[in-house]
Structures are given as C-alpha cells and as structure tokens.
Amino acid sequence: QVQVQESGPGLVKPSETLSLTCSVSGGSISSYYWNWIRQPPGKGLEWIGYINNDGTTDYNPSLKSRVTISRDTSKNQLSLTLSSVTAADTAVYSCARALGFGERWFDPWGQGTLVTVSS
C-alpha cells in the first residue's frame, strides 16, 4: 500500500523560498503522476502542479512563475520549491498520487505539512 509523507520547514520568511519533500513508500514514484496541493487554513483546495512518470511537469498558471516540482527516483522522493513567498502562501501543503494520464483523481494523499510565512 502506497504511503506518502511530506516534510519541511514549518516557518519561512517573506520573500524567501519554500522547500518541501514528499517521501513515498510502498510504490515507485516513477510509475505514477504525483501532485502537490495546498490548502490555506480554513479555506479550500488549490492544485499546485504535478510531475508525471516520465518526469514531465505541469503547473498551475497562477503559480507557474514561482514553482518547481522535481523528483529523486533513487530516494523515491518528490520536491516542491516555491520562491518569493508571501503571507498568502501560508497553507497546508500535501502531495498526492494520480494513477496516470486519464486517471487523475488523487489517492492517496499525505497528511500534509503546515507552512507559515512570517517574519
């Protein structure tokens, strides 16, 4: 059974870069599409982007200029970087699997990690 766990700093200063890792066990990250999603406290869900099985990425245009998703297949990990953060980037950041190009529902999700942007 695939399990997903996000990790990274809980506090980032404004204008700096947010960097998170998603560790996957029970399955190879090279076999699926992996997505990052965020949820500001008390608010709804926003898709950030994905990296697919051949390493191709796709990003939400609203964040595209600031976001990079990458992977380390040797560690079975994904990474998310978001540059020039502001308070509006405060959110729980989660990673989630999609089975493939057509099967783009998210399951499972990681528990998520709260990132607060504050000086």
Partner 1 sequence: DFVMTQSPDSLAVSLGERATINCKSSQSLLYSSNNKNYLAWYQQKPGQPPKLLVYWASTRQSGVPDRFSGSGSGADFTLTISSLQAEDVAVYYCKQYYRTPYTFGQGTKLEIK
Which 3 state secondary structure label does DSSP give 32?
A: coil
Q: How far is the CA of 15 from the CAs of 9, 42, 86, 98, 116, in angstroms?
A: 15, 23, 6, 31, 13
Nearer to partner 1, 72 or 107 (CB): 107
Cβ atoms of 43 and 114 within 8 Å: the answer is no
Supply the minimum distance, in Å, between the C-beta of residue 102 and partner 1: 8
Q: How far is the CA of 33 from the CAs of 30, 77, 89, 94, 115, in angstroms?
A: 8, 13, 24, 14, 23
Nearer to partner 1, 15 or 116 (CB): 116
Supply the minimum distance, in Å, between the C-beta of residue 74 and partner 1: 26
Supply the minimum distance, in Å, between the C-beta of residue 32 and partner 1: 14
Nearer to partner 1, 43 or 74 (CB): 43
Cβ atoms of 91 and 40 within 8 Å: the answer is yes
The residue ranges that bind partner 1 (CB under 8 A) are: 35, 44-47, 50, 58, 60-62, 94, 96, 98, 102-107, 109-112
Nearer to partner 1, 58 or 72 (CB): 58
